[in-house]
Protein backbone atom coordinates (compact mmCIF):
# COMPACT_ATOMS: atom_id res chain seq x y z
CA UNK A 1 0.00 0.00 0.00
CA UNK A 2 1.47 3.34 -1.11
CA UNK A 3 1.07 6.25 1.29
CA UNK A 4 2.18 9.85 0.75
CA UNK A 5 3.39 12.52 3.15
CA UNK A 6 4.09 16.18 2.48
CA UNK A 7 6.91 18.31 3.86
CA UNK A 8 8.15 21.85 3.21
CA UNK A 9 11.13 22.90 1.07
CA UNK A 10 11.32 26.34 2.71
CA UNK A 11 14.74 25.52 4.21
CA UNK A 12 16.41 25.94 0.79
CA UNK A 13 18.24 29.19 0.08
CA UNK A 14 16.79 31.87 -2.19
CA UNK A 15 18.72 30.81 -5.30
CA UNK A 16 17.57 27.18 -4.98
CA UNK A 17 13.95 28.20 -4.52
CA UNK A 18 14.11 30.48 -7.56
CA UNK A 19 15.52 27.59 -9.59
CA UNK A 20 12.74 25.28 -8.40
CA UNK A 21 10.14 27.88 -9.41
CA UNK A 22 11.78 28.26 -12.82
CA UNK A 23 11.73 24.48 -13.41
CA UNK A 24 8.08 24.15 -12.35
CA UNK A 25 6.94 27.08 -14.53
CA UNK A 26 8.66 25.62 -17.59
CA UNK A 27 7.36 22.12 -16.80
CA UNK A 28 3.77 23.38 -16.60
CA UNK A 29 4.11 25.14 -19.97
CA UNK A 30 5.31 21.88 -21.55
CA UNK A 31 2.59 19.91 -19.76
CA UNK A 32 -0.07 22.30 -21.06
CA UNK A 33 1.19 21.92 -24.64
CA UNK A 34 1.08 18.13 -24.41
CA UNK A 35 -2.47 18.27 -23.01
CA UNK A 36 -3.49 20.40 -26.02
CA UNK A 37 -1.91 17.90 -28.44
CA UNK A 38 -3.32 14.76 -26.81
CA UNK A 39 -6.81 16.19 -26.23
CA UNK A 40 -7.70 15.99 -29.93
CA UNK A 41 -6.31 12.47 -30.45
CA UNK A 42 -8.61 9.45 -30.82
CA UNK A 43 -6.36 6.85 -29.18
CA UNK A 44 -4.13 8.32 -26.48
CA UNK A 45 -0.92 6.33 -25.83
CA UNK A 46 0.29 5.73 -22.28
CA UNK A 47 3.89 6.24 -23.38
CA UNK A 48 3.94 9.17 -25.80
CA UNK A 49 6.20 8.48 -28.84
CA UNK A 50 9.14 10.67 -29.81
CA UNK A 51 7.25 11.96 -32.87
CA UNK A 52 4.97 13.89 -30.46
CA UNK A 53 7.48 14.83 -27.75
CA UNK A 54 9.90 16.32 -30.31
CA UNK A 55 7.24 18.81 -31.44
CA UNK A 56 7.42 20.79 -28.17
CA UNK A 57 10.36 23.22 -27.91
CA UNK A 58 11.81 23.73 -24.42
CA UNK A 59 15.10 23.93 -22.51
CA UNK A 60 14.07 20.90 -20.43
CA UNK A 61 15.87 17.64 -21.18
CA UNK A 62 14.38 14.94 -23.42
CA UNK A 63 13.74 12.81 -20.32
CA UNK A 64 11.81 15.62 -18.67
CA UNK A 65 9.73 16.12 -21.81
CA UNK A 66 8.94 12.42 -21.81
CA UNK A 67 7.98 12.64 -18.12
CA UNK A 68 5.66 15.63 -18.80
CA UNK A 69 4.11 13.83 -21.79
CA UNK A 70 3.39 10.74 -19.66
CA UNK A 71 1.71 12.86 -16.97
CA UNK A 72 -0.32 14.73 -19.61
CA UNK A 73 -1.43 11.40 -21.08
CA UNK A 74 -2.68 10.28 -17.66
CA UNK A 75 -4.59 13.55 -17.16
CA UNK A 76 -6.30 13.41 -20.57
CA UNK A 77 -7.09 9.67 -20.41
CA UNK A 78 -8.54 10.08 -16.90
CA UNK A 79 -10.72 13.02 -17.97
CA UNK A 80 -12.05 11.22 -21.06
CA UNK A 81 -12.76 8.06 -19.08
CA UNK A 82 -14.73 10.13 -16.59
CA UNK A 83 -16.68 11.65 -19.47
CA UNK A 84 -17.57 8.16 -20.77
CA UNK A 85 -18.83 7.23 -17.31
CA UNK A 86 -20.93 10.41 -17.16
CA UNK A 87 -22.42 9.64 -20.59
CA UNK A 88 -23.36 6.14 -19.43
CA UNK A 89 -25.03 7.49 -16.28
CA UNK A 90 -26.92 10.13 -18.32
CA UNK A 91 -28.37 7.40 -20.54
CA UNK A 92 -29.32 5.33 -17.51
CA UNK A 93 -31.06 8.32 -15.85
CA UNK A 94 -33.02 9.05 -19.03
CA UNK A 95 -34.19 5.42 -19.16
CA UNK A 96 -35.31 5.67 -15.51
CA UNK A 97 -37.13 8.95 -16.35
CA UNK A 98 -34.98 10.95 -13.89
CA UNK A 99 -34.74 13.85 -16.34
CA UNK A 100 -33.78 16.56 -13.87
CA UNK A 101 -30.66 14.67 -12.73
CA UNK A 102 -29.87 13.80 -16.36
CA UNK A 103 -29.97 17.46 -17.43
CA UNK A 104 -27.74 18.50 -14.53
CA UNK A 105 -25.13 15.86 -15.39
CA UNK A 106 -25.42 16.72 -19.10
CA UNK A 107 -24.45 20.36 -18.36
CA UNK A 108 -21.31 19.14 -16.55
CA UNK A 109 -20.53 16.83 -19.48
CA UNK A 110 -20.94 19.64 -22.03
CA UNK A 111 -18.76 22.10 -20.09
CA UNK A 112 -15.85 19.64 -19.80
CA UNK A 113 -16.17 18.55 -23.45
CA UNK A 114 -15.61 22.14 -24.55
CA UNK A 115 -12.79 23.08 -22.16
CA UNK A 116 -9.56 21.13 -21.67
CA UNK A 117 -8.49 19.89 -18.21
CA UNK A 118 -7.00 22.56 -15.96
CA UNK A 119 -3.40 22.03 -14.79
CA UNK A 120 -3.25 24.97 -12.37
CA UNK A 121 -3.14 22.73 -9.28
CA UNK A 122 -1.18 19.87 -10.86
CA UNK A 123 2.12 19.05 -9.14
CA UNK A 124 5.21 17.95 -11.04
CA UNK A 125 5.64 14.17 -10.82
CA UNK A 126 9.25 12.95 -10.94
CA UNK A 127 10.41 9.33 -10.82
CA UNK A 128 13.70 7.79 -9.74
CA UNK A 129 15.43 8.88 -13.00
CA UNK A 130 15.43 12.46 -11.75
CA UNK A 131 15.39 12.06 -7.98
CA UNK A 132 17.75 10.70 -5.36
CA UNK A 133 16.53 10.81 -1.74
CA UNK A 134 18.94 10.54 1.16
CA UNK A 135 17.94 10.26 4.81
CA UNK A 136 20.83 11.30 7.03
CA UNK A 137 21.09 12.82 10.50
CA UNK A 138 24.38 14.68 10.17
CA UNK A 139 22.99 18.20 10.72
CA UNK A 140 19.76 20.08 11.28
CA UNK A 141 18.35 18.63 8.04
CA UNK A 142 17.62 14.92 8.18
CA UNK A 143 16.71 14.57 4.50
CA UNK A 144 18.10 15.67 1.14
CA UNK A 145 16.58 15.44 -2.35
CA UNK A 146 18.98 15.62 -5.30
CA UNK A 147 17.42 16.63 -8.64
CA UNK A 148 19.33 15.85 -11.84
CA UNK A 149 18.73 15.28 -15.59
CA UNK A 150 16.43 18.31 -15.54
CA UNK A 151 18.03 20.21 -18.38
CA UNK A 152 20.13 23.36 -18.83
CA UNK A 153 22.84 21.76 -16.65
CA UNK A 154 20.74 22.09 -13.48
CA UNK A 155 21.55 19.93 -10.47
CA UNK A 156 19.95 20.77 -7.13
CA UNK A 157 20.21 19.50 -3.56
CA UNK A 158 17.07 20.40 -1.63
CA UNK A 159 17.05 19.94 2.16
CA UNK A 160 13.95 18.95 4.12
CA UNK A 161 12.98 17.85 7.62
CA UNK A 162 11.21 14.62 8.30
CA UNK A 163 7.85 15.20 9.94
CA UNK A 164 6.29 12.99 12.60
CA UNK A 165 3.98 11.57 9.94
CA UNK A 166 6.90 10.68 7.65
CA UNK A 167 8.78 8.95 10.48
CA UNK A 168 5.63 7.03 11.40
CA UNK A 169 5.19 5.77 7.83
CA UNK A 170 8.89 4.92 7.50
CA UNK A 171 8.70 2.77 10.64
CA UNK A 172 6.33 0.40 8.82
CA UNK A 173 7.41 0.83 5.19
CA UNK A 174 10.11 1.74 2.69
CA UNK A 175 10.73 4.99 0.84
CA UNK A 176 9.93 5.01 -2.89
CA UNK A 177 12.12 6.79 -5.43
CA UNK A 178 9.53 9.18 -6.89
CA UNK A 179 8.23 12.50 -5.56
CA UNK A 180 5.65 15.18 -6.34
CA UNK A 181 7.13 18.68 -6.31
CA UNK A 182 5.41 22.06 -5.97
CA UNK A 183 6.79 25.54 -5.33
CA UNK A 184 6.49 25.18 -1.56
CA UNK A 185 6.26 21.45 -0.76
CA UNK A 186 7.56 18.04 -1.70
CA UNK A 187 5.46 14.88 -1.35
CA UNK A 188 7.28 11.65 -0.54
CA UNK A 189 5.92 8.17 -1.32
CA UNK A 190 6.22 5.33 1.22
CA UNK A 191 5.37 1.72 0.42
CA UNK A 192 3.74 0.51 3.62
CA UNK A 193 4.02 -3.17 4.53
CA UNK A 194 0.74 -4.66 5.78
CA UNK A 195 0.75 -7.25 8.55
CA UNK A 196 -1.86 -9.98 9.00
CA UNK A 197 -4.69 -9.35 11.46
CA UNK A 198 -6.03 -12.60 12.90
CA UNK A 199 -8.52 -11.08 15.36
CA UNK A 200 -12.20 -11.95 14.87
CA UNK A 201 -13.55 -9.25 17.21
CA UNK A 202 -16.18 -7.01 15.58
CA UNK A 203 -16.72 -3.43 16.79
CA UNK A 204 -19.73 -1.25 15.93
CA UNK A 205 -19.42 2.54 15.63
CA UNK A 206 -22.30 5.03 15.52
CA UNK A 207 -21.50 8.58 14.39
CA UNK A 208 -23.67 11.25 15.97
CA UNK A 209 -24.19 14.99 16.21
CA UNK A 210 -24.21 15.13 20.01
CA UNK A 211 -21.72 12.39 20.79
CA UNK A 212 -19.17 12.08 17.97
CA UNK A 213 -18.52 8.33 18.37
CA UNK A 214 -20.55 5.71 20.22
CA UNK A 215 -18.66 2.41 20.21
CA UNK A 216 -19.67 -1.13 21.10
CA UNK A 217 -16.61 -3.37 21.62
CA UNK A 218 -18.74 -6.37 22.55
CA UNK A 219 -17.69 -6.54 26.19
CA UNK A 220 -17.85 -2.78 26.77
CA UNK A 221 -19.37 0.37 25.30
CA UNK A 222 -18.02 3.92 25.35
CA UNK A 223 -18.77 7.38 23.94
CA UNK A 224 -16.49 10.22 22.92
CA UNK A 225 -15.77 12.54 25.84
CA UNK A 226 -15.26 16.29 25.89
CA UNK A 227 -11.83 17.76 25.19
CA UNK A 228 -9.66 19.60 27.73
CA UNK A 229 -11.54 22.82 26.96
CA UNK A 230 -14.89 21.26 27.85
CA UNK A 231 -16.14 21.09 24.25
CA UNK A 232 -17.67 18.26 22.25
CA UNK A 233 -18.74 18.15 18.60
CA UNK A 234 -22.18 19.58 19.42
CA UNK A 235 -20.84 22.65 21.24
CA UNK A 236 -18.21 23.27 18.53
CA UNK A 237 -20.92 23.21 15.84
CA UNK A 238 -22.97 25.62 17.97
CA UNK A 239 -20.01 28.01 18.02
CA UNK A 240 -19.59 27.71 14.25
CA UNK A 241 -23.27 28.51 13.67
CA UNK A 242 -22.79 31.84 15.49
CA UNK A 243 -19.67 32.87 13.57
CA UNK A 244 -19.50 34.80 10.33
CA UNK A 245 -18.27 32.53 7.55
CA UNK A 246 -14.73 33.39 6.48
CA UNK A 247 -13.88 35.32 9.66
CA UNK A 248 -10.80 34.49 11.73
CA UNK A 249 -12.89 33.15 14.59
CA UNK A 250 -14.83 30.94 12.15
CA UNK A 251 -11.58 29.48 10.78
CA UNK A 252 -10.30 28.88 14.32
CA UNK A 253 -13.50 27.02 15.18
CA UNK A 254 -13.12 24.91 12.04
CA UNK A 255 -9.59 23.95 13.11
CA UNK A 256 -10.95 23.16 16.58
CA UNK A 257 -13.55 20.84 15.03
CA UNK A 258 -10.94 18.92 13.00
CA UNK A 259 -8.62 18.71 16.02
CA UNK A 260 -11.45 17.35 18.16
CA UNK A 261 -12.32 14.70 15.55
CA UNK A 262 -8.68 13.59 15.29
CA UNK A 263 -8.27 13.57 19.07
CA UNK A 264 -11.44 11.51 19.63
CA UNK A 265 -10.42 8.90 17.06
CA UNK A 266 -6.85 8.72 18.36
CA UNK A 267 -8.19 7.89 21.84
CA UNK A 268 -9.86 4.69 20.64
CA UNK A 269 -8.45 1.36 21.75
CA UNK A 270 -7.48 -0.43 18.53
CA UNK A 271 -5.97 -3.50 20.20
CA UNK A 272 -7.71 -6.76 19.32
CA UNK A 273 -10.09 -5.27 16.73
CA UNK A 274 -10.53 -7.41 13.61
CA UNK A 275 -13.44 -5.64 11.89
CA UNK A 276 -14.78 -2.11 12.32
CA UNK A 277 -18.40 -1.62 11.27
CA UNK A 278 -19.41 1.97 10.61
CA UNK A 279 -22.45 3.70 9.18
CA UNK A 280 -22.61 4.11 5.42
CA UNK A 281 -23.58 7.78 5.31
CA UNK A 282 -24.28 9.38 1.93
CA UNK A 283 -26.13 12.58 0.94
CA UNK A 284 -27.23 13.24 4.51
CA UNK A 285 -28.72 16.70 3.84
CA UNK A 286 -29.63 16.44 0.15
CA UNK A 287 -33.07 17.91 -0.47
CA UNK A 288 -33.56 18.83 3.20
CA UNK A 289 -33.59 22.15 5.02
CA UNK A 290 -31.47 22.05 8.16
CA UNK A 291 -30.53 24.45 10.94
CA UNK A 292 -27.29 26.42 10.85
CA UNK A 293 -25.84 24.14 13.51
CA UNK A 294 -26.54 20.94 11.58
CA UNK A 295 -25.04 22.48 8.43
CA UNK A 296 -21.67 22.33 10.20
CA UNK A 297 -21.95 18.60 10.94
CA UNK A 298 -19.42 17.09 8.53
CA UNK A 299 -19.20 13.31 8.34
CA UNK A 300 -16.68 12.77 5.50
CA UNK A 301 -13.60 13.79 7.57
CA UNK A 302 -14.83 11.49 10.36
CA UNK A 303 -15.21 8.52 8.00
CA UNK A 304 -11.87 9.24 6.27
CA UNK A 305 -10.03 9.46 9.58
CA UNK A 306 -11.60 6.22 10.84
CA UNK A 307 -10.60 4.41 7.63
CA UNK A 308 -7.05 5.80 7.80
CA UNK A 309 -6.56 4.68 11.41
CA UNK A 310 -8.04 1.29 10.51
CA UNK A 311 -5.43 0.88 7.77
CA UNK A 312 -2.65 1.75 10.19
CA UNK A 313 -3.81 -0.99 12.59
CA UNK A 314 -4.71 -3.49 9.81
CA UNK A 315 -8.39 -3.43 10.74
CA UNK A 316 -11.01 -4.36 8.13
CA UNK A 317 -13.71 -1.70 7.61
CA UNK A 318 -17.31 -2.57 6.74
CA UNK A 319 -19.87 0.14 5.92
CA UNK A 320 -23.35 -0.79 7.13
CA UNK A 321 -26.63 0.74 5.98
CA UNK A 322 -27.83 2.65 9.09
CA UNK A 323 -31.54 2.31 8.25
CA UNK A 324 -33.54 1.53 11.43
CA UNK A 325 -30.40 0.89 13.52
CA UNK A 326 -31.37 3.75 15.84
CA UNK A 327 -34.97 2.47 16.16
CA UNK A 328 -34.23 -1.22 16.81
CA UNK A 329 -33.94 -2.56 20.34
CA UNK A 330 -30.53 -4.18 20.74
CA UNK A 331 -31.97 -6.59 23.36
CA UNK A 332 -35.15 -8.04 21.80
CA UNK A 333 -35.04 -6.78 18.20
CA UNK A 334 -38.36 -4.86 18.27
CA UNK A 335 -38.08 -2.06 15.72
CA UNK A 336 -40.37 0.94 15.89
CA UNK A 337 -40.00 4.66 15.28
CA UNK A 338 -41.47 5.60 18.65
CA UNK A 339 -38.78 3.58 20.49
CA UNK A 340 -36.35 6.47 20.16
CA UNK A 341 -37.00 9.90 21.58
CA UNK A 342 -33.96 12.14 21.19
CA UNK A 343 -31.00 10.84 23.21
CA UNK A 344 -33.12 8.28 25.06
CA UNK A 345 -34.07 4.86 23.70
CA UNK A 346 -36.89 2.97 25.42
CA UNK A 347 -38.19 -0.27 23.91
CA UNK A 348 -41.99 -0.50 23.94
CA UNK A 349 -41.87 -4.32 24.10
CA UNK A 350 -39.21 -5.30 26.65
CA UNK A 351 -38.74 -1.94 28.41
CA UNK A 352 -35.00 -1.77 27.65
CA UNK A 353 -33.85 1.80 28.33
CA UNK A 354 -30.43 3.22 27.37
CA UNK A 355 -28.60 5.90 25.40
CA UNK A 356 -29.93 5.93 21.84
CA UNK A 357 -26.46 6.28 20.23
CA UNK A 358 -25.03 3.37 22.21
CA UNK A 359 -28.06 1.27 21.26
CA UNK A 360 -27.43 2.11 17.59
CA UNK A 361 -23.75 1.10 17.86
CA UNK A 362 -24.82 -2.30 19.27
CA UNK A 363 -27.13 -2.82 16.28
CA UNK A 364 -24.43 -1.81 13.80
CA UNK A 365 -22.11 -4.39 15.35
CA UNK A 366 -24.59 -7.22 14.63
CA UNK A 367 -24.75 -9.18 11.38
CA UNK A 368 -28.29 -8.08 10.48
CA UNK A 369 -29.72 -8.42 7.00
CA UNK A 370 -29.81 -5.07 5.21
CA UNK A 371 -33.26 -3.56 4.70
CA UNK A 372 -33.49 -2.04 1.24
CA UNK A 373 -35.30 1.03 -0.07
CA UNK A 374 -38.31 -0.96 -1.29
CA UNK A 375 -39.01 -2.29 2.19
CA UNK A 376 -38.08 0.97 3.89
CA UNK A 377 -40.56 2.99 1.83
CA UNK A 378 -43.40 0.83 3.20
CA UNK A 379 -42.84 2.57 6.57
CA UNK A 380 -43.41 -0.60 8.58
CA UNK A 381 -41.36 0.96 11.39
CA UNK A 382 -44.45 2.99 12.30
CA UNK A 383 -46.37 -0.12 13.37
CA UNK A 384 -43.25 -2.06 14.35
CA UNK A 385 -41.63 -5.37 13.42
CA UNK A 386 -39.07 -7.81 14.80
CA UNK A 387 -35.55 -7.73 13.37
CA UNK A 388 -33.37 -10.37 15.05
CA UNK A 389 -30.05 -12.15 14.83
CA UNK A 390 -29.50 -15.63 16.28
CA UNK A 391 -26.18 -17.53 16.20
CA UNK A 392 -24.76 -14.91 13.83
CA UNK A 393 -27.33 -15.84 11.17
CA UNK A 394 -29.58 -13.00 10.01
CA UNK A 395 -33.23 -13.79 10.80
CA UNK A 396 -35.35 -10.92 9.53
CA UNK A 397 -39.05 -11.24 8.85
CA UNK A 398 -39.96 -10.05 5.38
CA UNK A 399 -41.63 -6.75 6.20
CA UNK A 400 -43.79 -7.00 3.09
CA UNK A 401 -45.47 -10.29 4.10
CA UNK A 402 -44.84 -10.93 7.80
CA UNK A 403 -47.46 -10.87 10.51
CA UNK A 404 -45.98 -8.86 13.34
CA UNK A 405 -46.43 -10.93 16.44
CA UNK A 406 -44.48 -10.85 19.66
CA UNK A 407 -41.76 -13.41 20.26
Mean pLDDT per 10-residue segment, the chain (407 residues): 90 94 95 92 88 92 94 93 92 91 90 82 92 81 91 92 90 89 94 76 90 90 89 92 92 94 90 89 75 85 91 88 89 89 90 92 87 81 81 51 43
- Residue 64: the pLDDT is 94
In the chain, what are the domain boundaries? 14-125, 128-192, 202-320, 326-407
Q: What is the pTM of this model?
A: 0.72
- Residue 390: the pLDDT is 58
- Looking at beta carbons, which pairs linking 349-353 to residues 24 or more positions away fall under 8 Å? 349/406
Task: Evaluate whether the domain defined by 202-320 bears CATH number 3.30.420.
Answer: yes
- Residue 406: the pLDDT is 41
What is the b/e burial string over 183-208, where b = at least 16 CB atoms within 10 angstroms of the residue's CB?
eeebebbbeeeeeeeeeeebbbbbbb
39 conformational bin, left if phi > 0, alpha if psi -120 to 50, beta if neither: alpha
214 conformational bin, left if phi > 0, alpha if psi -120 to 50, beta if neither: beta
Amino acid sequence: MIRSSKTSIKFSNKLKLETVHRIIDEYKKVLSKFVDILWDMENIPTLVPIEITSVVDTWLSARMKQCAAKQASGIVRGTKQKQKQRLFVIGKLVQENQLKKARKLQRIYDEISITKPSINNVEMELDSRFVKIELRDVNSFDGWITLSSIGDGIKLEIPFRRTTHINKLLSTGTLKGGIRLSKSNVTLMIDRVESTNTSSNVVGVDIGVNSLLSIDYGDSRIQSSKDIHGHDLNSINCRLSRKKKGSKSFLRSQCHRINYINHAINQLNWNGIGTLRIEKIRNLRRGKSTSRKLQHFIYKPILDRLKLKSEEHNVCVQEINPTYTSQRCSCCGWTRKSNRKGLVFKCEKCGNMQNSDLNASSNIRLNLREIGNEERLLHKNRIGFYWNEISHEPIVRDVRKAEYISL
